[in-house]
Amino acid sequence: MTHDDGNSLIRFLYYAPWFDTEAIIVTNQLPDFKHTDTGPWDKAMGILNAYKEDLPQLRKHDSLFPNYEELLSKTKQGRGALPIIWLTNDLKFSGQIGSRYVESKWDSINFHDWIGEGLNPNGESKDSEGSEFLQQVFDKDDDRPIYVQAWGGPITLVQALYRYKQRKGDEKLKRILSKLHIYGILFQDITFEYFIDFDSVKNKSCGGFGSAIPTYKGERAELGQLLYDPGHFWQYCCSSDSNWVRPIYAKEFKGHGAMSELFDDYGEGDTPSFLYLISAKLGLNDPLDPTQGSWGNRFSQMEKPFPKGYYHSCNHNASELTRWNSEAKNSFQNRLLWSVKNPEEVNREPVAVVNRDNSNKIITLYVTPGKSITLDATKSSDTDRDGLTFKWFRYDEADNYDGSFGLTEPANAIQKLVVPSDLNDKNIHLVLQVSDNGTPGLAVYRRVIIKAENN
């Protein structure tokens, strides 16, 4: 847990009812912390204690906020203290991290010194409380994907998988790997080699990777899904871009309960790793298809030799992440109000309805090219009886139709459209954003994917 991870954990906890949290693994990591530093663990415990203090008030708004004791029982110490990967070859680091000036040096790093049997170079067991606990999660009879937000390196997860294979065999390991969906904020240490070939990534010139030397000698494990963000996450942390606007400042955050007092201005670099799940809940995207775009970025599928479920955002503009900043910020600020106000005093998300479908699922329409369709959002509603505005737009970065397909009256609830006669095997993504006029204003979405019938 580095300088900005605490802020991301705080935001995550405000959305805790929307997640089935199985584990929170706290690790140290160079160059921020030495392996014996208790700072990361103490920071996590401080945040959970603040959550405990805020919990009675938060539960007035949503009874599904998990018990403090439940979260505490799932929070475990993992292994860390590996240099971040894009510093590995330099064997040293000096610079400002958060509020501290850090100087670190280390020897060369070898994968097999840290994963497997015996002790690691720090003299610790390679197994940890965290890696043992993760195996209990693997053993659960549950077919849902396991979404892993890799805010640092995955050393604890990889050790858990190593031990699970040893104890349970290849078939059970493959089953678990197929369920793991990892969002990697960079490939932050060499244990990511277990999942992906670093040389192949470097050959693709995927930005922000650095020149780390591969050392893994075994067979690679194929995940159900791997999302690689090589640098857009800096937009939530501490970008050097002169046009950068911080998504939220501590001064906007503080004064909203115990957790808010722990929030600082050192960013939330890891927040995009779960924003794509939040926007899925709000109807914008399907997390199983990261090419659709979401609050957590838009990704492209990696080409061979990478597995089918591997995606990156290397060639995308950072605006694919920041285009949603206003809506994500309003949602978060509204949650902050839960800590200090009663339910009747805060805004609630509207409900977006398209053609009488009031779910948050993606709508796929198969239409004969050249034919007309009607998309009707007039049944959309707001629990608080706030006024609603409608914004339809084509998300052309997410679709693959090359022709023109404009919306002449995008603010109308009803859209009458003609499907292009040359749609063929392509698709068009239309997004409806329904926003209320509460304070702060909240947005929900519906996505309609138009495909040609019989293609």
How far CA 69 is from CA of 55, 87, 260, in Å, comes to 11, 38, 20
Write out the residue limits of the CATH 2.60.40.10 domain(s) in the chain. 348-452
Write out the residue limits of the CATH 3.90.245.10 domain(s) in the chain. 5-338
Band of residue 163 on the pLDDT scale cut at 50, 70, 90:
very high
Q: Are 51 and 17 in contact (CB under 8 A)?
A: no
pLDDT single digits (tens) 221-234: 999 999 999 889 98
pLDDT single digits (tens) 347-369: 999 999 999 999 999 999 999 99
> Above 90 in pLDDT, residue 242?
no
Helix (H, G, I), strand (E, B) or coil at 139: coil
Q: Are 291 and 312 in contact (CB under 8 A)?
A: no
Band of residue 60 on the pLDDT scale cut at 50, 70, 90:
very high
* Planar angle of CA 224, 229, 234, nearest 5 degrees: 150
pTM of the model: 0.96
Band of residue 171 on the pLDDT scale cut at 50, 70, 90:
very high
- CATH class of the region 5-338: alpha beta
Range from 69-73, 118-122, 288-292 carrying the lowest mean pLDDT: 118-122
User: Distance between CA 281 and CA 15 in Å, rounded?
Assistant: 11
User: Distance between CA 291 and CA 397 in Å, rounded?
Assistant: 9
User: Distance between CA 197 and CA 5 in Å, rounded?
Assistant: 27
pLDDT at 275: 98
User: Distance between CA 295 and CA 275 in Å, rounded?
Assistant: 5
Q: Which of 58, 80, 56, 63 is nearest to 10 (CA)?
A: 58
Range from 51-55, 60-64, 243-247 carrying the lowest mean pLDDT: 243-247
Q: Are strands 443-452 and 363-367 parallel, antiparallel or unpaired?
A: parallel
**451 bridge partner residues:** 366, 427
User: Distance between CA 6 and CA 51 in Å, rounded?
Assistant: 12
Q: Are strands 310-312 and 225-229 parallel, antiparallel or unpaired?
A: parallel
Band of residue 12 on the pLDDT scale cut at 50, 70, 90:
very high
User: Distance between CA 80 and CA 120 in Å, rounded?
Assistant: 11
pLDDT at 397: 97
pLDDT single digits (tens) 176-201: 999 999 999 988 889 999 999 988 88
Residues 6+ apart with CB under 8 A from 303: 204
Q: Strands, DSSP E only, in 241-361?
A: 300-301, 310-312
**167 vs 211, residue with greater confidence:** 167
> Above 90 in pLDDT, residue 9?
yes
**236 vs 337, residue with greater confidence:** 337
Band of residue 285 on the pLDDT scale cut at 50, 70, 90:
very high
Pick the CATH number of 348-452 from 1.10.150.120, 2.60.40.10, 2.40.110.10, 2.30.40.10: 2.60.40.10
pLDDT at 358: 98
- DSSP letters, 386-428, are --EEEEEEE-TTTS---S----S-TTSSEEEEE--TT-TT-EE
How far CA 333 is from CA of 15, 353, 357, in Å, comes to 12, 25, 28
> Above 90 in pLDDT, residue 99?
no
> Above 60 in pLDDT, residue 69?
yes
Report phi then psi at 446, rounded to 5: -140, 140
> Above 60 in pLDDT, residue 449?
yes
Q: Report the chain's C-alpha Rg in angstroms.
A: 23
pLDDT single digits (tens) 196-218: 998 888 777 675 555 678 899 99
